[in-house]
Structure 1
Amino acid sequence: MRILGIVLAAALALPAPSSALRASAGKQEKKESELRKKLNAAHTGAADWLSSQQGADGAWKQGPPGREQPSVAFTALAVTAFARAPKELRAKVQPAIDRGASFIVSKRNEDGSFGEGPRGAFLKTYTTALAVMALSVTDREKFADPIRGGQAYLKQNQLKEGVDRGGSGYGDEEPTKEGTKKTIANLSTTGFTAEAMESSGLPKDDEFWKLVIEFVRRCQNNSETNTDREFVEKLKAAGLSVGDDGGLYYAPSPDRKIHKAGTVKVIDKEVVQSYGSMTYHGIKTYLFAGLAKDSPEVKAAIDWVRKNYSVEAHPGFPFDASKRNHLRGLFYYYYVMARAMDAIGERPFRTFDGKEHDWPVELAGQLLKTMKDGKMWVNENPAWWEDNPLLVTCYVLNTLDLLMKHVE
């Protein structure tokens, strides 16, 4: 009792919170409330604009001005953004979701894929992944049959040989100047395919996930885990090596031309440059596949983010004031970043410089700052189709859906 009395006396002796502190706390609460209001307004304005771009057939279109065609991929991105929206916002766009989902289902092929059909095969895997994701977040029970068909197609098209083993390419084949060639796996399509499988509930003991982990390891600058002999030998023959910064890159290929961030000299060796969107794709894909946060693969990738965290530029692409190279694929990067940070579950996120980042608030602020006319987004750098406001606004609405889970 004597100890309790001392504790109570000490507590009573403490000064009451000052009016300044109370005002500061109130101001912080108000700030967060104001941010939520601004996000709601931005989401509503962008959703209204995106809805106005939907065709009578339920599709959103893609292509050069005057030659646009209904697109399963763009429609799936829009439907996913609307279906993942907070409840009160989703209710407003439900008719657009229903029309979009019906269009997607109408483009289902006999082999379970969606979109282009048997002839135009070079984007079928990518399109099918987005379609499965859209139908899964819209209504997994209602669309169970086309979802299962899509899952089966994606598993069938998971590559099974060589350094591509475990990964997914854009489709069955890819266009070249000479015609077409067999597809190669890349981390972008593989990341979306894994997200589709996670959204649609593919069991974690499915062989698909084991193979995915194998592939993603080959896309990581981590010599502890990226030890595939065939890939390492291919890199060596091209004068390249596996790096050790923990970040990830586009594909396990020695071809310098496909690595958009280029290569970099590290001490006495040349390695493929790691960059933000691929590193975040790797993190979320590892986690979806069942690896723990403290696994060597995930820890190394998160450590790369701790060194390269940014909401203002796409890390891995050097700053360029004239060509805006640091903005290359920026909104795609934001989308993947938000999904990965949500999966990591660390808030605030501490970087190696000792700073703590409230990443949902920081990313929300950046998106609000870059919104155009209260209804859309577009990138100053046109790479990766990000001069198309429809595509970029789809990316941002998907990102806002996640941010609004965290910003009260």
Structure 2
Amino acid sequence: MLSSRRVLSFVGICAVAWAALASVSFAADAPAKKVDVEKLQKIQKAGINYLKNSQLEDGLWTTETVPGISALVTTALLESGVPASDPVVAKALKRLEGYIQKDGGIYYSKSNHRNYETCISIMALHAANKDGRYDQTIKNAEKFLRGLQWDKGEGIESSDTFYGGAGYGGHQRPDLSNTQFLIEALRKAGVKSDDPAIQKALVFVSRTQNLESEFNTTPFASKVNDGGFYYTPAAGGTSQAGTTPDGGLRSYGSMTYAGLKSMIFAGVDEKDKRVKAATEWIRRHYTLKENPGMGLMGLYYYFHTFAKALDAMQVDEFKDEKGTAHNWRAELVNQLAELQNENGSWTNTQKRWYESDPNLATAYALLALSYCQPAK
């Protein structure tokens, strides 16, 4: 099984090119603090043990009606080094197989989150797919996801703000959160960055960025124009961080990292104006104390996208707007160690988006930590 960091290397962006980008200035002036490997291993082990002990008798976590949580937990365990043969993981995988539908999707039969659940399930099955036993299941799920994407099959043109995006399931309004999971799931399924589905998704992602350009001519782009990302331009536009007095959609942290990561996965390189603008937004708002623009809401989701995006950029140290160099892996390990509960779990005091559920928050935390192995 390939490591998660190795999987993300498919974007083909070399670390040297990123570090040499003058306008971003990733390289540190002095060595940053190193990852405390002992601390990393200790909190990972505690988190793994918590999730193993919180598994329900039927092999799931939290509830059978939301298999996305169980798929996320399973992925987190696998990416944390727990083998697919481990009894807890094997039981979880067997149970997830029960959600495979005739249409190729992997979701609860009455679910309204079919895209989300299928995307996360693909990630879990991919991480467990040592012997190719899930090849056909993943291929069928890939086909199902393609059918959910908003495009001409739904009678819309490329100029429509729905175009290229994906929602929670069925044909709900598309948003960046679900679209970033779609892109990542398709890549895990072996879809190349220049595939039409990925490139259509990139059209949608570009329109969720507050950057007026040939890639985004929506009425929202010029009202904020700070390079960050928000939730969706579709159906009148929505930002979970709220609006400006003139109707602009405010950028916020988790979506900005999700948007930047998605662009890299879609093959956009470091010289592109969209990547440059997003990176500058991160420089101005670099923090692990909160989800910028949202406070503590969605904090663990934020940690997850933060780690994936910076790993995809292939940077070990990141310099903020003040010139301070950050070993982001070391800082993330320290922050998660500080937030971990005595029983090994993580929880968010802000209940929004289910992050008060220790299974979900702990899965996000472990996935973030899976990108924190010291740089070689």
Common topology (TM > 0.5):
yes
Larger Rg: 1
Per the alignment, residue 185 of structure 2 pairs with: 196
Following the alignment from structure 1 to structure 2, what is the Cα–Cα distance between the partners of residues 188 and 356?
A: 29
Per the alignment, residue 158 of structure 1 pairs with: 149
8 A Cα contact 1:97 1:138, kept in partner = no
Following the alignment from structure 1 to structure 2, what is the Cα–Cα distance between the partners of residues 51 and 168?
A: 32
Per the alignment, residue 115 of structure 1 pairs with: 107
Question: Which among 132, 150, 154 is matched to residue 122 of structure 2?
Answer: 132
Is 2:106 the counterpart of 1:105? Answer: no
Shift of 1:95: 2.2
Per the alignment, residue 271 of structure 1 pairs with: 248
| Cα deviation code 1:128-151 (max 9, x no counterpart) | 000011101111622001100110
Following the alignment from structure 1 to structure 2, what is the Cα–Cα distance between the partners of residues 156 and 330?
A: 31
Per the alignment, residue 353 of structure 1 pairs with: 322
8 A Cα contact 2:211 2:222, kept in partner = no
8 A Cα contact 1:59 1:70, kept in partner = no
Gaps of 5+ in 1: 1-27, 63-68, 173-181, 318-325
8 A Cα contact 2:146 2:197, kept in partner = yes
Give the superposed CA RMSD: 2.2
8 A Cα contact 2:175 2:234, kept in partner = no
> Which SS does the other structure have where 1:156 is aligned?
helix
8 A Cα contact 1:223 1:243, kept in partner = no
Following the alignment from structure 2 to structure 1, what is the Cα–Cα distance between the partners of residues 310 and 44?
A: 20
Following the alignment from structure 2 to structure 1, what is the Cα–Cα distance between the partners of residues 98 and 353?
A: 27
8 A Cα contact 1:280 1:337, kept in partner = yes
Shift of 1:48: 1.0
Could you tell me which amino acid in structure 2 is paired with residue 153 of structure 1?
F
Taking a change above 3 Å as real, the CA distance of residues 359 and 45 of structure 1, as seen in their structure-2 partners, is same
> Which SS does the other structure have where 1:406 is aligned?
coil
Per the alignment, residue 269 of structure 2 pairs with: 292
8 A Cα contact 2:210 2:226, kept in partner = yes
| Cα deviation code 1:28-82 (max 9, x no counterpart) | 99x857x2111111111111110112123321123xxxxxx35421111011111
1:192-341 superposed matches below 5 A: 192-228=181-217, 231-232=218-219, 241-253=222-234, 255=236, 258-265=238-245, 269-317=246-294, 326-341=295-310
8 A Cα contact 1:261 1:275, kept in partner = yes
Could you tell me which amino acid in structure 2 is paired with residue 302 of structure 1?
T
- TM-score (ref. length: structure 1): 0.78
Following the alignment from structure 2 to structure 1, what is the Cα–Cα distance between the partners of residues 65 and 168?
A: 19
Taking a change above 3 Å as real, the CA distance of residues 92 and 114 of structure 1, as seen in their structure-2 partners, is closer
Could you tell me which amino acid in structure 2 is paired with residue 170 of structure 1?
Y
Taking a change above 3 Å as real, the CA distance of residues 93 and 315 of structure 1, as seen in their structure-2 partners, is farther
Is 2:363 the counterpart of 1:394? Answer: yes
Gaps of 5+ in 2: 1-30
Could you tell me which amino acid in structure 1 is paired with residue 58 of structure 2?
D
Alignment coverage as a number of residue pairs: 338
Question: Which among 143, 156, 170 is matched to residue 134 of structure 2?
Answer: 143
8 A Cα contact 2:34 2:327, kept in partner = no
8 A Cα contact 2:65 2:111, kept in partner = no
Question: Which among 77, 81, 88 is matched to residue 76 of structure 2?
Answer: 81
8 A Cα contact 1:241 1:270, kept in partner = no
Percent of matched pairs sharing the same residue: 30
Q: Which has the higher contact order (CA 8 A, sep 6+)?
A: 2
Could you tell me which amino acid in structure 2 is paired with residue 367 of structure 1?
L
Taking a change above 3 Å as real, the CA distance of residues 32 and 244 of structure 1, as seen in their structure-2 partners, is closer
| Cα deviation code 1:264-292 (max 9, x no counterpart) | 35xxx542100000001101111111111
8 A Cα contact 1:378 1:388, kept in partner = yes
Taking a change above 3 Å as real, the CA distance of residues 225 and 311 of structure 1, as seen in their structure-2 partners, is farther
8 A Cα contact 1:225 1:296, kept in partner = no
- TM-score (ref. length: structure 2): 0.85
